[in-house]
Amino acid sequence: MDKSILSLSLFALCISFGFAQSQTVKKWNFNTGNDVDSSPAIGRDGTIYVGCWDDNLYAINPDGSKKWVFETGGNVDSLTIGSDGTIYVGSWDDNLYAINPDGSGKWAFKTGNDVDSSPAIGSDGTIYVGSDDHNLYAINPDGSKKWNFKTGNDVDSSPAIGSDGTIYVGSWDDNLYAINPDGS
């Protein structure tokens, strides 16, 4: 008797799980026309930002409609949003872009090769980003270079910032680096 109650309970659970799965409904999709190789980021107002390999950064309204498009000269990977709403995104056109929430460009910082890394933002507003030119860059909020740290190969990993301000980043030279906020 106990086995049949257990079997009946498991059967009912499986049926209800299968029914619940069949009730999943897609809210919307937004077709970019090319590969989306970036993680989306969500702004304070609910805008969804995503980079695409059609050389564009897309801003998408919460209902799935296009808000605006920012065109770069190369594939666009993952991004970061600053506390003031500025969107920071790298491109395979060798630039890190700072973009206002309305889609207008603030500035572009030129590196020596593709920017595949997602930027990280320090507590003082410094933007840290890696490049395939083997460097980790520290960029001031106005777009000027603060410093760069040279590694032995591409820096595709996204920097992480410790509680003491130490910047951690990996390189294709088989190393993980811990770098002081002053670049040393």
Q: What is the pLDDT of residues 73-121, one digit of tens each?
A: 999 988 999 999 999 999 999 999 999 999 999 999 999 999 999 999 9
For domain 36-179, say whether CATH 3.40.50.10310 is its number: no
pLDDT on residue 10: 58
Cα–Cα dist 104/22, whole Å: 42
What's the token pair of residue 88?
A: 């920071």
Give the separation between CA 184 and CA 180, rounded to whole angstroms.
5
pLDDT of residue 39: 92
Residue 120 CA to residue 182 CA, distance in Å, equals: 15
Per-residue CA distances from 65 to 4, 95, 130, 140 (Å): 52, 27, 32, 33
> Which helix or strand (DSSP H or E) is residue 2 part of?
helix 2-22
d(C-alpha 107, C-alpha 88), whole Å: 10
pLDDT at 23: 73
The length of the chain, given as a count of residues: 184
**Structural tokens at position 29:** 């999709």
The percentage of the chain sitting over the pLDDT mark of 70, rounded to a whole number, equals 88
Report the C-alpha gap between 163 and 167 in whole angstroms.
10
Please, what is the Cα angle at 159 between 76 and 162, to 5 degrees?
A: 150
DSSP letter for 87, please.
Answer: E
Q: Side by side, which strands form the sheet with 135-139? A: 120-121, 127-130, 135-139, 145-150
**Encoding tokens for residue 59?**
């801003």
- pLDDT tens track for 113-148: 999 999 999 999 999 999 999 999 999 999 999 999
